[in-house]
């Protein structure tokens, strides 16, 4: 019997997009078949179950997000400027047609099961907070960096959710500047 050939990265890209847009409950096996071009048996053979594929999609998204955060933070002249650039890019995303927020946050708000996915989301959000804390620690010390990282995560979560409602990028930027005055916002404007 011939085995179906597929590129896992392409399947993960398409299923991540599908789950991200429609949530775990909103995606059927038929949706997965249409998005990937794979038959149900091939999907189950390759990934085990819808739940396991969902978890892989979450992990795929989280890995891409962490790469983006690290790249943005460390390509900027300072970590603070990198944080500003990251927040500004989130404001720009919120203004785009088809804005989809954060897959991790959406998952945490949507589902109670599978429990493994919720455990992963919680751990990943804490890992992102720790990433920010570690980046800020050389400038602020560990304790203050941890507080600033937690504040940053609260603002990011709020921006990701409120971005659905508020479409004025200047208002979002003004609000972030008010809530995060310790960042170097000098003369920054969102396009």
Q: Which of 52, 82, 57 is nearest to 69 (CA)?
A: 82
Entry pTM: 0.88
Q: Which fold, 55-179? A: Tetracycline Repressor; domain 2 (1.10.357)
For 150-184, the pLDDT digits (tens) are 999 999 999 999 988 988 999 999 999 999 999 99
Q: Domain segments of the chain: what residues?
A: 55-179
Q: What is the pLDDT of residues 3-56, one digit of tens each?
A: 456 788 888 999 999 999 999 999 999 999 999 988 888 888 889 999 999 999
CA distance 43 to 10: 13
Q: How many CA atoms lie within 13 A of 117 on its CB side?
A: 27
Average pLDDT in the chain: 91
Query: 54: closest CA among 86, 77, 96, 22?
Result: 22
Predicted pLDDT of residue 186: 75
Which helix (H) or strand (E) element contains residue 69?
helix 50-75
Which band of pLDDT confidence, cut at 50, 70 and 90, is reported for residue 1?
Answer: very low
> In sequence order, which residues have a C-beta less than 8 Å from that of residue 96 and are 6 or more positions away?
none
């Amino acid at each position: 019997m011939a085995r179906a050939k597929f590129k896992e990265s392409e399947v993960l890209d398409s299923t991540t997009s599908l789950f991200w847009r429609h949530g775990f409950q909103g995606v059927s096996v038929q949706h997965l078949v249409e998005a990937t071009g794979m038959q149900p048996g091939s999907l189950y053979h390759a990934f085990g179950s819808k739940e396991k594929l969902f978890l892989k999609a979450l992990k795929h998204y989280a890995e891409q997000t962490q790469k983006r955060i690290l790249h943005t933070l460390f390509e900027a002249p300072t970590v603070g400027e990198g944080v500003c650039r990251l927040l500004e890019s989130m404001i720009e995303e919120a203004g785009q047609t088809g804005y989809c927020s954060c897959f991790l946050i959406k998952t945490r708000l949507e589902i109670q099961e599978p429990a493994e996915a919720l455990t992963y989301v919680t751990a990943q959000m804490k890992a992102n907070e720790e990433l920010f804390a570690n980046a800020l620690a050389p400038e602020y010390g560990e304790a203050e960096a941890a507080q600033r990282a937690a504040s940053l995560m609260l603002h990011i979560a709020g921006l990701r959710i409120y971005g659905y409602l508020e479409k004025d990028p200047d208002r979002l930027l003004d609000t972030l500047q008010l809530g995060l005055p310790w960042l170097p916002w000098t003369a920054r404007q969102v396009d």
